[in-house]
């Protein structure tokens, strides 16, 4: 049985950062990922990473922007930690080899980003996430004392009799063998759940696995209703056009040629918070001022060509390859699209969840630094800061602690579960059909604008899909690279995610951040300045709602304008 | 949106558990012409057979998972438009098969660890600074240097160039285009303090930078414009030009002979290439070099074949005519060598002026390579 002091599940930025930090404390570390680490979706973070590094900037200013961006739902103690530690983290990445863009003096160069009162976004062209991910992977190759399990899929977390984490059950995708891991602590770093929606900017791997794994053993999820719709995604495919484009000066126009952000955010214009810009676009589209394909136009031609080549190269490729548009010559049609989940497994500022020994970091976690709306270029920061903090804490906690012995019964029960998948009737509904209905339903009823009736309809659909998923048929009964089987398991993870998103969205009877309820269009601090948490009730089937206080330190809620 | 159209995907299937050989199977798909080959494969999985295995994730040419060969050409399935693939399809069916130069695990999935990642490991793929990093500050380095290495940082490790590499086909030990592009990322990074050792290592390795035959295949197929071959040529230039590394493979001498011959005649004077290669560009020194005789003996059958077929005549071999307009070739040399800085046509710093028309991507990549030829 493989044994590690710290077992990290997921090898994107949060996972790799956690693994490296845990190893630095002297702990034995394993890192499991269902895809090769450099395939992780952290790759897709294009624009950059925020840090108040400039002496003229301050962490307080960064923190305030983040608090305001969160629509005051973010926990201010966690936000303070993130913003204070950002400059050192950025420098550490630079020292490890990230090829950050330089200014003329050879120091780190920065760009403007949405919702920020100062330019504090550091970047590598528009491949920032990819560059950092690959550099961290260089470090993992260097530090081969961190044991990498690449292309292994975690099917369940294992607890001991007292409820403490004891390990995990995994499937080696390459040969289909099932393996029980023993670990003193487990750090979930499995990323977001965008695949619950269709379309989405998220990769096919973003199926909310870690969120569901934690939920199933009783860890509360928090802020799950807060789903970010990014203002600039391609219609149809949902691919992302970086906020960096607007950071570099690109404008938004409706079909009437009007730069409509003047009406919604006269000061920050295109660089208001994402929720604000997405709502503005959706309003234009809904009120008939969009293009016939349900979009508005992003005009990047105003950015100098040389700058586009140097700083927006990826977008040049995406425009050419996926929309047939040369962004240096013509505007590109975009719309708001599913992008990010602010919510996730509730943790403290060291990444600890309510289950002893279980940590979470990155998009699958909710610290909560993003509250109702995440600022662009704060997600990379979140993964790195809280990935590192989780790794450090778990590594130190492992010292002197005994290695648990996870029960063989856990492995047996997962084996039985997989056999049962293979035994399903071939005539039942296909995994792909259920997934398609799930994504469409969520995008229709739980996107930029929501109201109770639609959310309840969606919940009804999801409740039916949950049953159907239990019998969904699979074509592949093999052991080697059985992606079909994994898809069937992921589908059930996704449905758990969808259900908790919907019950939280129904519960929050106000409009705040990404949650805009047309039936409750105002923010209501008296009743709803609090987090909604969800955990399974006694029968383990239906979600149960509780509340958690928002931590305020120095910023009282104010009206939010841009 | 254009109307959906019918396409046939001819997919190479292999089930390692069946005991059967790989086989081809046709699948009909219905897709908008601007959708990708990957969308086609996913439609097959969704509607018909979910056991068809392919690694894929981002659908946007960022994660590097879905490298395959489409109508024989290595590419990412996600950024190959299905209508474009149809244009090069034989007998109406778009063939999709796993990448080359790597063992197949199942269907379209190859063993990247056994080849690609092993080669990446070979180039010591992490930064090696000697100095302690500056306290409380970043390393101060020229802006251009960071943009320069960004081209190789843009590599997504998809393995498409490894699949297409002709040198790898004949020498499986060749470090290969992706790993050498990765090597340039450190060689070109001013924060790394092992530049010379890295270059010496890659020059001395018989499967290193001089094993590239300059065929452009990697440049042509790279979905991210990393232009691996150009990075290899940069490694050579750094090795010879900046460090004068004279390697056991005689890559230095060979390259210098090429450059000198073209400067003198405008086209390749093959009879002079070998002796000059061993003389590190000099004809006279080359004839005194014992290695040259050995190489001459090995190459003799090729030379004789050339004579027999009439490709080479003794007259042609000894009296090589100058290219008409050789003056212009020399002017290129003067132009390039007259610059203070070495001309590097990195795609990220091609210096596109505001309103100037610019060459499209492919031409840019060609220009970059042609500079070497």
pLDDT per position as a tens digit, B17-35 = 999 999 999 999 999 998 9
Question: Rounded distance, CA A360 to CA A349, Å?
Answer: 10
Residue A168: both structure tokens together: 């995990």
- Any residues with CB less than 8 A from the CB of A267 and at least 6 apart, and which? A561, A562
Question: Rounded distance, CA B98 to CA B24, Å?
Answer: 12
Side-chain-side CA neighbours of residue A288 (13 Å): 0
pLDDT tens per residue across all 562 residues of chain A: 999 999 999 999 999 999 999 999 999 999 999 999 999 999 999 889 999 999 999 999 999 999 999 999 999 999 999 999 999 999 999 999 999 999 999 999 998 888 899 999 999 988 999 999 999 999 999 999 999 999 999 999 999 999 999 999 999 999 999 999 999 999 999 999 999 999 999 999 999 999 999 999 999 999 999 999 999 999 888 999 999 899 999 999 999 999 999 999 999 999 999 999 999 999 999 999 999 999 999 999 999 998 898 888 889 988 988 888 999 999 999 999 999 999 999 999 999 999 999 999 999 999 999 999 999 999 999 999 999 999 999 999 999 999 999 999 999 999 999 999 999 988 899 999 999 999 999 999 999 999 999 999 999 999 999 999 999 999 999 999 999 999 999 999 999 999 999 999 999 999 999 999 999 999 999 999 999 999 998 776 789 999 999 999 999 999 999 9
**Minimal Cα distance from B79: which residue of A?**
A321
Question: Rounded distance, CA A42 to CA A129, Å?
Answer: 5
Neighbours of A451 (CB within 10 A): 16
B63–A484 CB contact, under 8 Å: no
Residue A247: both structure tokens together: 């950071």
**Minimal Cα distance from A205: which residue of B?**
B57
Helix and strand numbers (H, E) in chain B are: 17, 7
**A163: helix, strand or coil:** coil
Burial A24-38 (b: 16+ CB within 10 A, else e): ebebbbbbbbbbbbb
Residues of A in contact with B352 (CB under 8 A): 305-306, 309
Question: What's the burial of A500, exposed, middle or buried (CB within 10 Å: 0-12/13-18/19+)?
Answer: buried
- CB A229, CB A338: distance < 8 Å: yes
Q: Measuring CA to CA, which residue among A73, A336, A54, A110 is closest to residue A224?
A: A73
Question: Rounded distance, CA B46 to CA A76, Å?
Answer: 45
B143–A103 CB contact, under 8 Å: yes
B17–A108 CB contact, under 8 Å: no
Which conformational region is residue A82 in: left (phi greater than 0), alpha (psi within -120 to 50 degrees), or beta?
alpha
Question: Rounded distance, CA A6 to CA A29, Å?
Answer: 5
Q: Which residue has the tokens 């020399």?
A: B330
Residues of B in contact with A482 (CB under 8 A): 51
- CB A464, CB A473: distance < 8 Å: no
Question: What's the burial of A354, exposed, middle or buried (CB within 10 Å: 0-12/13-18/19+)?
Answer: middle
Whether the link from the prior residue into A64 is cis, omega within 30° of 0, is no
Question: Rounded distance, CA A96 to CA B122, Å?
Answer: 19
Question: Rounded distance, CA A149 to CA A152, Å?
Answer: 6
Please pick, among A120, A246, A274, A512, the residue that the annotation labels catalytic: A274
In this prediction, residue A142 carries a pLDDT of 97
Longest dimension (CA), chain A: 68
Question: What's the burial of A269, exposed, middle or buried (CB within 10 Å: 0-12/13-18/19+)?
Answer: middle
Residue B330: both structure tokens together: 């020399």
First to last CA, chain B: 44
Question: Rounded distance, CA B220 to CA B284, Å?
Answer: 39
**Minimal Cα distance from A12: which residue of B?**
B63
Whether the link from the prior residue into A465 is cis, omega within 30° of 0, is no
Question: Rounded distance, CA B110 to CA A500, Å?
Answer: 38
Q: Which residue has the tokens 């203070």?
A: B340
- CB B12, CB B21: distance < 8 Å: no
Touching B: A residues 483-502, CB under 8 Å: 483-484, 487
User: Chain-centre distance of CA A232, in angstroms?
Assistant: 17
Residues of B in contact with A240 (CB under 8 A): 60
Neighbours of A450 (CB within 10 A): 25
**Minimal Cα distance from B158: which residue of A?**
A39
Paired strand residues for A533: A222, A546
B352–A306 CB contact, under 8 Å: yes
Q: Which of A49, A87, A92, A106 is the best substitution to test chain B (most B C-beta atoms within 10 A)?
A: A106
Residues in chain A: 562
Question: Rounded distance, CA A28 to CA A4, Å?
Answer: 5
SS (H, E, C) A401-458: CCCCCCCHHHHHHHHHHHHHHHCCCCCCCEHHHHHHHHHHHHHHHCCCCECHHHHHHH
Q: Measuring CA to CA, which residue among A189, A137, A227 is closest to residue B185?
A: A137
Q: Measuring CA to CA, which residue among A388, A539, A447 is closest to residue A81?
A: A388
A487–B58 CB contact, under 8 Å: no
Q: Which residue has the tokens 């750090």?
A: A187
A274 is catalytic: yes
Neighbours of B325 (CB within 10 A): 10
B126–A97 CB contact, under 8 Å: yes
- CB A514, CB A228: distance < 8 Å: yes
- CB A431, CB A472: distance < 8 Å: yes
- Any residues with CB less than 8 A from the CB of A100 and at least 6 apart, and which? A93, A94, A108, A109, A122, A123, A124, B138, B146
Partner-chain residue, chosen from B57, B139, B153, that has the shortest CB–CB distance to A127: B153
| Positions in chain B short of pLDDT 50 | 349-373
Question: Rounded distance, CA B212 to CA A213, Å?
Answer: 48
Helix B37-47 with A431-445: angle, nearest 10 deg: 110
Question: Rounded distance, CA A557 to CA B84, Å?
Answer: 54
A436–B46 CB contact, under 8 Å: yes
Question: What's the burial of B301, exposed, middle or buried (CB within 10 Å: 0-12/13-18/19+)?
Answer: exposed
Residues of B in contact with A38 (CB under 8 A): 63-64, 156-157
Question: Rounded distance, CA A163 to CA A159, Å?
Answer: 5
**B73: helix, strand or coil:** strand
For residue B309, give the H/E element and its range: helix B290-309
Strand pairing class (A29-33; A147-150): parallel
For residue B19, give the H/E element and its range: none
Helix A379-398 with A13-24: angle, nearest 10 deg: 30
**B124: helix, strand or coil:** coil
CB-based contact, A326 to chain B, within 8 Å: no
Touching B: A residues 396-435, CB under 8 Å: 430-433
User: Chain-centre distance of CA A217, in angstroms?
Assistant: 21
Alpha helix locations (H) across A312-430?
313-318, 379-398, 408-422
For chains A and B, count residue pairs whose Cβ atoms are closer than 8 Å.
183
Q: What is the DSSP letter of B113?
A: I
């Amino acid at each position: 049985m493989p044994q590690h002091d710290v077992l990290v599940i997921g090898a994107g930025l949060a996972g790799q950062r956690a693994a490296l930090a845990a190893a630095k404390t002297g702990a034995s570390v394993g890192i499991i990922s269902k895809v090769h680490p450099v395939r992780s979706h952290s790759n897709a973070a294009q624009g950059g990473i925020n840090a108040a590094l400039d002496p003229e900037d301050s962490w307080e200013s960064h923190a305030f922007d983040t608090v305001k961006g969160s629509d005051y739902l973010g926990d201010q103690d966690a936000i303070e930690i993130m913003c204070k530690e950002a400059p050192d983290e950025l420098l550490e990445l630079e020292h490890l080899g990230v090829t950050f863009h330089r200014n003329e003096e050879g120091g780190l160069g920065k760009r403007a980003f949405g919702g920020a009162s100062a330019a504090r976004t550091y970047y590598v062209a528009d491949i920032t996430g990819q560059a950092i991910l690959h550099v961290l992977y260089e470090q993992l190759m260097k530090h081969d004392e961190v044991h990498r399990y690449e292309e292994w899929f975690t099917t369940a977390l294992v607890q001991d009799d007292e409820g403490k984490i004891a390990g995990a059950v995994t499937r080696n995708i390459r040969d289909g063998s099932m393996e029980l891991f023993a670990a003193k602590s487990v750090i979930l770093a499995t990323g977001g759940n965008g695949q619950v929606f269709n379309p989405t900017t998220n990769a096919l791997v973003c199926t909310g696995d870690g969120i569901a794994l934690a939920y199933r053993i009783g860890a509360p999820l928090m802020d799950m209703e807060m789903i970010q719709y990014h203002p600039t995604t391609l219609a149809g495919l949902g691919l992302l056009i970086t906020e960096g484009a607007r950071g570099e000066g690109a404008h938004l126009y409706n079909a009437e040629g009007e730069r409509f952000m003047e009406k919604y955010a006269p000061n920050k214009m295109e660089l208001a918070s994402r929720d604000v810009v997405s709502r503005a676009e959706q309003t234009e589209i809904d009120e008939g001022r969009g293009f016939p394909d349900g979009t508005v136009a992003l005009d990047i031609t105003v950015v100098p060509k040389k700058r586009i080549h140097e700083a927006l190269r990826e977008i040049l490729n995406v425009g050419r390859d996926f929309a047939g548009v040369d962004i240096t010559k013509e505007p590109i049609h975009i719309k708001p699209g599913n992008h990010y989940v602010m919510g996730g497994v509730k943790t403290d500022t060291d990444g600890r969840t309510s289950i002893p020994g279980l940590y979470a970091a990155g998009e699958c976690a909710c610290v909560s630094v993003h509250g109702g709306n995440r600022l662009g270029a704060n997600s990379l920061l979140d993964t790195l800061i809280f990935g590192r903090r989780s790794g450090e804490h778990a590594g130190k906690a492992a010292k002197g602690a005994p290695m648990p012995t996870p029960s063989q019964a856990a492995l047996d029960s997962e084996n039985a579960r997989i056999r049962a998948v293979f035994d399903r009737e071939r005539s039942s509904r296909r995994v792909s059909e259920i997934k398609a209905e799930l994504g469409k339903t969520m995008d229709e009823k739980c996107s930029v604008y929501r109201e109770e009736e639609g959310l309840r309809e969606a919940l009804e659909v999801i409740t039916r899909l949950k049953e159907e998923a239990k019998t969904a048929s699979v074509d592949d009964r093999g052991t080697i690279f059985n992606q079909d089987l994994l898809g069937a398991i992921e589908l059930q993870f996704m449905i758990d995610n969808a259900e908790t998103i919907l019950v939280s969205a129904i519960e929050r009877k106000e409009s705040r951040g990404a949650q805009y309820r047309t039936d409750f269009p105002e923010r209501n601090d008296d009743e709803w300045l609090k987090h909604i948490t969800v955990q399974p009730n006694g029968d383990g089937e239906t979600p149960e709602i509780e509340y958690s206080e928002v931590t305020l330190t120095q910023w009282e809620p104010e009206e939010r304008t841009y | 949106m254009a109307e959906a159209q019918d396409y046939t995907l001819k997919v190479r299937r292999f089930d390692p558990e069946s005991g059967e050989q790989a086989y081809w199977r046709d699948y009909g798909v219905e897709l908008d012409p601007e959708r990708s080959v990957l969308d086609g494969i996913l439609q097959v999985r969704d509607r018909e057979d979910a056991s068809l295995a392919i690694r894929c994730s981002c659908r946007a040419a960022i994660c590097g998972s879905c490298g395959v060969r489409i109508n024989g050409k290595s590419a990412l399935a996600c950024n190959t438009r299905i209508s474009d693939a149809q244009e090069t399809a034989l007998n109406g069916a778009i063939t999709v098969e796993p990448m080359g130069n790597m063992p197949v695990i199942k269907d379209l999935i190859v063993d990247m660890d056994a080849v690609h990642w092993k080669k990446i490991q070979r180039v010591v793929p992490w930064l090696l600074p000697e100095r302690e990093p500056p306290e409380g500050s970043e390393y101060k380095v020229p802006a251009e240097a960071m943009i320069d290495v960004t081209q190789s940082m843009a590599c997504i490790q998809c393995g498409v160039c490894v699949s297409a590499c002709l040198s790898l086909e004949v020498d499986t030990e060749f470090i290969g285009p992706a790993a050498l592009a990765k090597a340039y990322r450190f060689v070109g990074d001013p924060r790394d303090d092992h530049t010379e050792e890295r270059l010496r290592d890659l020059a001395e390795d018989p499967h290193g930078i001089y094993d590239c035959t300059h065929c452009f295949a990697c440049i042509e197929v790279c979905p991210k414009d990393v232009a691996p071959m150009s990075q290899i040529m940069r490694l050579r230039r750094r090795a010879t030009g900046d460090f004068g590394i004279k390697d056991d493979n005689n890559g230095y001498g060979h390259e210098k002979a090429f450059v000198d011959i073209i400067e003198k005649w405008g086209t390749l004077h093959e009879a002079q290439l070998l002796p000059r290669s061993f003389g590190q560009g000099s004809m006279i020194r080359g004839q005194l070099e014992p290695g040259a005789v050995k190489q001459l003996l090995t190459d003799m059958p090729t030379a004789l074949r050339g004579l027999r077929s009439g490709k080479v005549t003794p007259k042609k071999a000894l009296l090589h005519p100058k290219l008409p307009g050789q003056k212009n070739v020399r002017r290129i040399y003067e132009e390039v060598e007259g610059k203070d800085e070495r001309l590097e046509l990195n795609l990220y710093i091609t210096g596109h002026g505001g309103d100037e028309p610019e060459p499209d991507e492919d031409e840019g990549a060609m220009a970059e390579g042609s500079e070497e030829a």
